Structure 1
Amino acid sequence: MPQGTDDHIGARLADYRKLRGLTQSGLAQKAFVSRGTIAKVEAGLSPATPGIVAAASRALHVPVDVLNGQPYMSELQQDRLDAMIEPLTAALDMYDLGPDPDITPRPVAALAADVERLCEGTCATEYKGIGEALPGLMSELTTAVGLASFGAERQRLAELLAWTYWVAYEFAYRLGYHHLAAIALERMGWMGEQAQDPLLLALRLARRSSMLLRRGDNQMAERILERGHRLVEQADDPHAVPALAVGGSLHLAGAIAAAQAKNKDSVEEYLKEAGAAAKRIGRDVPGVYWASFGLTNVKHFEVATAVELGDLGAAVKEARKLHFPAGHPPMRTGRYYIEMGRAYAQMGRYEKAEEQLHRARKIAPQQARYHPLMRSTIGVLVRHQRRAPDGLVSLAGWVGMI
């Protein structure tokens, strides 16, 4: 069944709060937010930001995906994405079974080309194409690694298999299958070790920190990011573009962690370090370790951290300076417009907020359709207007809220 506008994150939060015998003030105290914030979120009048959901999840001992209502099964079934989860789960389970006698792996170059296409599709949020191709390629690479002799070729195959695990993480995580995403990350670390690539392992830690931030564990996320920086220092050339891109991405992840902890000084320090790395590179390098890093991404995170800190005026001011170049990864651009939709909704600028959400849908439709913040913000816009505009009704129907 579609998720109605009266069945939202705030309503689920209120249900679990009552089951735990807490008042709004009691939950606010446990979650370290104001009672007014809890009241607005429960009423669906304020976006349920990732930080608030994480804090409530921790206080109520309820998983974040339960509060978010993920995965969104009706929409997954409509898009035929639900049928792709079982084959992916089976492919992830093959990791320690050795070569499959029914699979004859293709040459390394052909496998590498397919992995490249999958990584590009991931950054473009083309979930259906990813879900169809990923299990087979992962199984083929698992067999190829098992058959290969130790040496440079086996390391290369291990690297390629590690990237398919990264793709599996992104695919599962974005669709709300967070347990499966966690398994994919573990497999990525295991194979990254065999590839002997510290930058690949550091990038994995950046994704692991994101999962911790989703649960509101800022301190552990920052500890993991520190470990990531130590791995970057182990790269063959810590001052080359790949190491700068991965290190810069770790700094941006740190900035988000600090923003969720409301530590503005740390946010500024992380952004300063990321900016220095981007300036040394001198250009955007979206395909380097698929970190989507560069000057544009640093500007994006300046806006995103201002939103997270609640400094919405500064966020809008910085947003005026941000221009995405042609070819910038839709994963990043789409997320930016979702974040700005939330910011404008919090400011009471509802027409502007709706405009941002339409942009997110146009740029990265599958990402927008399955993003909980997109749904939360749409619900806020509907509840704040006596008669929802046709465009907003269309958005609500598209994500399955009506």
Structure 2
Amino acid sequence: MSFAAGDHTGARIADYRKLRHLTQAGLAQRAFVSRSTIAKIEAGLSPAAPAVVAAVARALEVDVAVLNGQPYLEEMRQDQLDRMIAPLANALDMYDLGPDLSIQPRPLPQVSVEVDDLCRAACATEYTKTGDRLPALLSELTTIISGLPEGPERRRAAAQLAWCYWVAYEFAYRLGFHHLAAIALERMGCMGEQAQDPLLLALRLQRRSSMLLRRGDNPMALRVLDRAHQLVAQHDAPGSVPALAVTGSLHLAGAIATAQAKNAEDVKERMKEARTVAERIGRDVPLVYWASFGPTSVAHFDVATAVELGQLGAAMQSARKVRFPADHPRMRVGRYHMELARAYSRMGRSESAQKELFRAREAAPQQARYHPLMRETVGVLVRRSRTVPGTLASLAAWVGL
């Protein structure tokens, strides 16, 4: 089996670096990373951490998706996901066009059941299921809300439409269509305002902070999260389980942002805040506002932040304490195993890294197939191997290398 030598993030970084007439040392200086890090990534012998890719993308003045090689169109064609992008884009464009007279909308309670099912599918990273059903549901809810006067029923419909836009964001963002994801977030904010739900608006800002982190803009991401905390404080019951779950999720997002900025003290403080909130709730709440917060999430982020900080020994020690309950979102479980695989790869423990990659695929197969971290780590393991084991070769072929 052959692997394209230039089909990895490091090779694309090298190409754009040369186009910008920069040496490795020059790029390292602009991106605030070491020259050895750039050299290893360009050679494809070290996994490109998301924070490093974001910093390099800013220095090279290109989008992160360009360096990651997203979207992965050939794999999308194989999974028949490519045909779902145009209908979604059209549905996102219909938000202000009034009712669709060709649609006979169902009662709102019946539609709400389908919205909940779609949110569950998004948390399970079932891209085919969400992409197939989402455009029609967006059109139906847009028609419903356009015929409702101001009042409680319209606010309920707006909340359901906001959740559909959240699903649209998850679908587009995970597949690498970040421009559509940004549009979906904008629409989610509009509907969150109409729903008069500060928790919805706070979660929307959390996703916005993720997109800012992807660009390497940590200061702005933290400002956005601060605003999200202010919104939670405006909730009628800021001490309720839903408000606490959203608050805890915001603390975890802030911990990742500060970990990417290599601020270990701030990470420690934010993780302490998240742990306190989890103790107040006393259990995992995976279905409350789809925030998926609780003691398990805190344990996961103890590992994730340690990996981001480069504290690999501490990450391995924390990983011993992580046990995922059966109802934990597959999205989180899959991401956790990819993070561990990256850590093992950096430690030179290829067999352990492979095991974690297969666990990531088992937990959330479609997320794993389309995640840059998965593809990058697989590529590093392949390039490091003198002879590629059959299991690793099959995994490489599956992700499209």
Shorter-chain TM-score: what band? over 0.9
1:41: Cα distance to partner?
Answer: 0.2
Structure 2 CA distance, aligned partners of 1:350 and 1:68? 22
Structure 2 CA distance, aligned partners of 1:341 and 1:115? 33
Structure 2 CA distance, aligned partners of 1:13 and 1:355? 28
Residue 32 of structure 2 corresponds to residue 32 of structure 1: yes
Deviation per CA, 1:190-247: give whole Å up to 9, x if none: 0100000000000000000000000000000000000000000001100000000001
Aligned to 1:91: 91
Deviation per CA, 1:313-351: give whole Å up to 9, x if none: 000000011111111110000000001000000000000
1:5: Cα distance to partner?
Answer: 5.0
Aligned to 1:252: 252
Deviation per CA, 1:362-390: give whole Å up to 9, x if none: 11000000000101100110111101111
Structure 2 CA distance, aligned partners of 1:301 and 1:328? 14
Residue 140 of structure 2 corresponds to residue 130 of structure 1: no
Q: Look up the equivalent residue of 2:205 and give its one-letter code.
A: L
Structure 2 CA distance, aligned partners of 1:62 and 1:115? 36
Q: Look up the equivalent residue of 1:350 and give its one-letter code.
A: S
Structure 2 CA distance, aligned partners of 1:140 and 1:267? 43
Q: Look up the equivalent residue of 1:364 and give its one-letter code.
A: A
Aligned to 1:154: 154
Aligned to 1:204: 204
Contact 2:6 2:12 in 1 (8 A): no
1:104: Cα distance to partner?
Answer: 1.6
Aligned to 1:192: 192
Contact 2:44 2:380 in 1 (8 A): yes
Aligned to 1:12: 12
Deviation per CA, 1:71-90: give whole Å up to 9, x if none: 00000000000100000001
Aligned to 2:221: 221
Q: Look up the equivalent residue of 1:130 and give its one-letter code.
A: T
Deviation per CA, 1:90-118: give whole Å up to 9, x if none: 10001001111111210111110000000
Contact 1:158 1:192 in 2 (8 A): yes
Mapping of 1:109-188 within 5 angstroms?
109-188=109-188
Contact 2:331 2:367 in 1 (8 A): yes
Contact 2:72 2:370 in 1 (8 A): yes
Q: Look up the equivalent residue of 1:143 and give its one-letter code.
A: T
- Kindly tell me the number of residue pairs found equivalent between the two proteins: 400
Structure 2 CA distance, aligned partners of 1:328 and 1:191? 28
Structure 1 CA distance, aligned partners of 2:102 and 2:382? 54
- Is the alpha carbon distance of 1:138 and 1:222 closer, same or farther for their aligned partners in structure 2, counting shifts above 3 Å? same
1:37: Cα distance to partner?
Answer: 0.2
Residue 119 of structure 2 corresponds to residue 106 of structure 1: no
Q: Look up the equivalent residue of 1:324 and give its one-letter code.
A: F
- Is the alpha carbon distance of 1:337 and 1:254 closer, same or farther for their aligned partners in structure 2, counting shifts above 3 Å? same
Contact 1:94 1:139 in 2 (8 A): yes
Contact 2:370 2:399 in 1 (8 A): yes
Aligned to 1:383: 383
| Aligned partner of residue 94 in structure 2, secondary structure | helix
Aligned to 2:291: 291
Residue 237 of structure 2 corresponds to residue 241 of structure 1: no
Aligned to 2:76: 76
Structure 1 CA distance, aligned partners of 2:324 and 2:229? 27
Structure 1 CA distance, aligned partners of 2:223 and 2:85? 32
| Aligned partner of residue 96 in structure 1, secondary structure | coil
Aligned to 2:365: 365
Q: Look up the equivalent residue of 1:147 and give its one-letter code.
A: G
Gaps of 5+ in 1: none
Deviation per CA, 1:125-161: give whole Å up to 9, x if none: 0000100000000100000000112111110000000
Contact 2:258 2:267 in 1 (8 A): yes
Structure 1 CA distance, aligned partners of 2:146 and 2:269? 44
The answer to which structure, 1 or 2, has the higher relative contact order (CA under 8 A, 6+ apart) is 1
Contact 1:5 1:379 in 2 (8 A): no
1:4: Cα distance to partner?
Answer: 2.9
Identity rate of aligned residues, in percent? 68
Mapping of 1:309-324 within 5 angstroms?
309-324=309-324
Q: Look up the equivalent residue of 2:279 and give its one-letter code.
A: K
Contact 1:4 1:400 in 2 (8 A): no
Structure 1 CA distance, aligned partners of 2:380 and 2:81? 27
TM-score w.r.t. structure 2 length? 0.99
Structure 2 CA distance, aligned partners of 1:268 and 1:147? 49
TM-score w.r.t. structure 1 length? 0.99
Gaps of 5+ in 2: none
Contact 2:9 2:67 in 1 (8 A): yes
| Aligned partner of residue 237 in structure 1, secondary structure | coil
1:3: Cα distance to partner?
Answer: 7.7
